[in-house]
Amino acid sequence: MCQNPRDFDDWYKSHPHYYSVPSDGLIKCLKDYAIGPCKTLDVGCGQGRNALWLASKGFQVAAIDNSHFAIQALKKAANAQRLRIDARLTDIRSFDFGVGLFDLIVIQTTLNHLDLDYIPVCCEKIVESLALQGVIYCVVFTTEDPGFKAHSEIASECANMVKHYFSSGELRRLFSKLEILEYKEYTKADNTHGPMHFHGKAKLIGRKT
């Protein structure tokens, strides 16, 4: 059953260690493309499941999120594990991504929680902030997701917080300026948080050349 949180700040407040498993897809991406420790930005980092793992492997991580409770949890975990992470409480819409600063940018399902008219702007900023030969790892929920199809019995308990589900090929078009190393649309069972549920996803790995 979906518990219908109002927003992620509300959710993280009542579930301080909810999203804790690093992305298996991200781990595979780093292995497949021989990406070692480098300057990394985690966009919409949440409680830090990817940021903490990356920092533990020697990556220089900056992590941003607009949830006060998520950033608090990330800082607390980083301190406990003696990891250096530049964790910032900020709204993505006002964050200065900079130009050519990052060798790796991770943005996992964050685009789904942005207003539709800002998504292309955000993607453009992300491309600009990549250094030459820098790589983006991006995952979004698609219209094949049970949350979009209103199948609440197999959807994520947080599906009601998704603002936009991506249509087929939409993510690839948004990052068309990059060399696309990998693009895949798929469905996947998820047991990393809450009751077992399913997702329709698109994954893009792209390089700035």
CA distance 65 to 41: 11
Segment 15-23 mean pLDDT: 70
pLDDT given for residue 9 in this prediction: 72
Residue type at 127 in one-letter notation = V
CA distance 108 to 26: 9
Over residues 50-105, the pLDDT tens digits come to 999 999 999 999 999 999 989 999 999 999 999 999 999 999 999 999 999 999 99
Instruction: Annotate 1-35 with DSSP letters as a single string.
Output: -----SSHHHHHHH-TTSS-SPPHHHHHHHHHTT-
**Strand 39-43 to 85-89 pairing:** unpaired
Is pLDDT above 50 for 5? no
Over residues 146-167, the pLDDT tens digits come to 888 776 666 666 667 889 999 9
pLDDT given for residue 146 in this prediction: 85
Please report the domains of the chain, with CATH numbers, ordered by start residue: 8-207 (3.40.50.150)
Residue type at 208 in one-letter notation = K
**Radius of gyration of the chain from its Cα atoms, rounded to whole angstroms:** 16
* pTM (two decimals): 0.90
Closest CA to 17 of 45, 57, 55, 48: 48
pLDDT, mean over the chain: 89
CA distance 149 to 122: 26
pLDDT given for residue 147 in this prediction: 81
Q: Which residue has the higher pLDDT, 9 or 15?
A: 9
